[in-house]
Amino acid sequence: MIIFDFLAQYWPRLLSGTGVTIAQFFLAAVLGIAISLAMGLMKLSQNRILRGAAITYIEIFRGTSLLVQLYWIFFVLPLFGVSIDKFTAGYVAVGMNIGAYGAELVRGGILSVPRGQWEAALAINMSPARRMWRIILPQALVNMLPPWGNLMIELLKGTALVSLISVADLMFQAKQINGSTFLSAQVFGTALVIYYILARFLVTPFMRWLERAMARKLGKV
Amino acid sequence: MFDWKWDFVWEILPRLLVATGNTLLAAGAGYAIALVLGLVFALAQRTPYRALTFVVREFVEFIRSTPLLLQIFFVFYVGPQFGLRLSPWTSGMIAIGLHYACYLSEVYRGGIESVPRGQWEAATALNMTITQKYRRVIIPQAIPTALSGMGNYLVGILKDTPMLSVIGVAELIHVANSIGSEHYRFLEPITMVGIIFLAISLPAAGLIRLFEGRVRRKLGL
């Protein structure tokens, strides 16, 4: 069967799978960014308990693989009485994993803000929270955006794993179609191309645009 | 605590340890392939043939922006469609080796590009052949820059081997899953897999950093 016949027949399923992949991507990204910010700030905190908690979190999520975390959240958490459906388990696992990597970026970004900025904010009597929010974080954000672009690609690729707990994303649909038709080259090839388009023509350009927009906002261009 | 059964842990531990061996073997073999192939990709992008450079560059980008899981399925299922039957191990090693070769080629490229121009010119002035230039002058100086990236991807490949479970490579997660479905208990096997991963990847990261330092000192940096 040539590729066009194949696409004509299976595009609705591939499209719905792509939709689920995009939804997983967004939800995981929002969760991941929130966790990165919280853990990154906690790791820089003076409080030893907060710092210890952040280090433990980061080491656990970076030291084990995403698939293990996903299975753990999906199969083991219900035994503790926390029952979550597979769609939620999917983006929670991916988001928590990315959050651990993002936390290091946040920490690095904050540390890269020159000391004088901290002192200046102190000199004009800003409260610590206000100083972080108004002075430090915006500058840290500009510094850390380029590596975040790579992390977002990793995140998109990570969402493919949710298919293994039967979330009907693009990977899952491709596997199902392959199982019933055995047109492996067509279906997996198409799925690869779709992921590539999402990464190269949506995620990457958006991150580049964000980098430029943020730099402009801070008057760096 | 919650129904955690130690005697069950002891019962399944031998099987998990065998699987740990497979995980390490898969990571090691995949990394060996990636080290060599990555160098080929990196050098291919430095040849004067524009077409070759372009094709390799796009290929590397493509592999880097699509999920490894999908690539594993692709390699495993597309072969038989054309009469080429690959075992799970072979296709797994091809997929993971190729994936990380693309990452490593970027690391090598960064390393090679970090060698100052003067070194190239000096090598030319000494009438060295192109092989001599790379072997005696450029690569020894590119290694220190490339080392930390190479170390990160060694840990990275270890954490990505669980994906090989989907085509039936008997590594940790695969074995943990079979144990789980045989005994209807997922708590212990999956938690143990997480602990084993932590027990390998945290010391590995430390050892790699130590090794990096030693190489740097040896090269007089």
Sign of CA dihedral A165, A168, A170, A176: positive
CB atoms within 10 A of CB A189: 17
Q: What is the pLDDT of residue B32?
A: 97
Chain-chain contact of A67 with B70 (C-beta, under 8 angstroms): no
Quote the mean pLDDT of chain B.
92
For residues A168-173, average pLDDT: 95
Percent of chain A with pLDDT over 90: 82
Contacts of B64 in chain A (CB under 8 A): 153
Where residue A215 falls among pLDDT bands split at 50, 70, 90?
confident
DSSP state of B47: S
For residues A185-206, average pLDDT: 94
Chain-chain contact of B67 with A195 (C-beta, under 8 angstroms): yes
Minimum mean pLDDT range among A46-50, B17-21, B121-125, B147-151:
B147-151
For residues A21-49, average pLDDT: 96
Q: What is the pLDDT of residue B143?
A: 86
Quote the mean pLDDT of chain A.
93
We find that the CATH architecture of domain B6-218 is Orthogonal Bundle (1.10)
The predicted complex's ipTM stands at: 0.90
For residues B201-206, average pLDDT: 92
Across the A:B interface, residue pairs with CB atoms under 8 Å apart total: 119
| Alpha-carbon gap, residue A211 to A197, rounded angstroms | 20
Residue-range domain boundaries for chain B = 6-218
Give the SS3 label for residue B127.
Answer: coil
Residue-range domain boundaries for chain A = 3-217
pLDDT tens by residue, B66-80: 999 999 999 999 988
Q: Given a cut of 70, is residue B179 above it in pLDDT?
A: yes
Q: What is the pLDDT of residue B77?
A: 93
CA distance A47 to chain B (A): 24
CA distance B109 to chain A (A): 17
Q: What is the pLDDT of residue B221?
A: 66
Between vectors from CA B117 to CA B115 and to CA B119, what angle results, nearest 5°?
A: 70
Q: What is the pLDDT of residue A217?
A: 86
User: So what CATH class is A3-217?
Assistant: mainly alpha
Query: Taking Cα atoms as reference points, which of B77, B19, B194 lies closest to residue A174?
Result: B77
Determine the residue among B100, B190, B201 to mutate to test chain A binding: the one whose Cβ has the most chain A Cβ atoms within 10 Å.
Answer: B190
Where b means 16+ CB within 10 Å and e means fewer, B70-89 reads: bbbbbbbbbbeeeeeebebb
Q: What is the pLDDT of residue B144?
A: 84
Where residue B207 falls among pLDDT bands split at 50, 70, 90?
very high
What's the Rg (C-alpha) of chain B?
Answer: 21
Q: What is the pLDDT of residue A107?
A: 95
pLDDT tens by residue, B83-95: 888 999 999 999 9
Q: Given a cut of 60, is residue B1 above it in pLDDT?
A: no
Measured between CB atoms, does B173 come within 8 Å of chain A? yes
Q: What is the pLDDT of residue A1?
A: 60
Percent of chain B with pLDDT over 70: 99
Sign of CA dihedral A137, A138, A142, A146: positive
Query: Taking Cα atoms as reference points, which of A169, A164, A176, A173 lies closest to residue A67?
Result: A164
CA distance B74 to chain A (A): 6
Where residue A76 falls among pLDDT bands split at 50, 70, 90?
confident
Q: What is the pLDDT of residue B212?
A: 87
E-assigned strand segments in chain B: none
CA distance A32 to chain B (A): 19
Measured between CB atoms, does B191 come within 8 Å of chain A? yes
pLDDT tens by residue, B191-203: 999 999 999 999 9
Q: Given a cut of 70, is residue A20 above it in pLDDT?
A: yes
Token representation of residue B198: 């932590």
For residues A50-72, average pLDDT: 95
Percent of chain B with pLDDT over 90: 77
Q: What is the pLDDT of residue B213?
A: 87
For residues A14-18, average pLDDT: 95
Q: Given a cut of 90, is residue B107 above it in pLDDT?
A: yes
Contact B66, A195 (CB under 8 A): yes
Contacts of A164 in chain B (CB under 8 A): 69, 166
Q: Given a cut of 90, is residue A51 above it in pLDDT?
A: yes
Q: What is the pLDDT of residue B5?
A: 87
Nearest CA in chain B to A200: B65
Chain-chain contact of B70 with A63 (C-beta, under 8 angstroms): no
Those of residues 133-172 in B touching chain A at CB distance below 8 A are 158-163, 165-166
pLDDT tens by residue, B154-178: 999 999 999 999 999 999 999 999 9
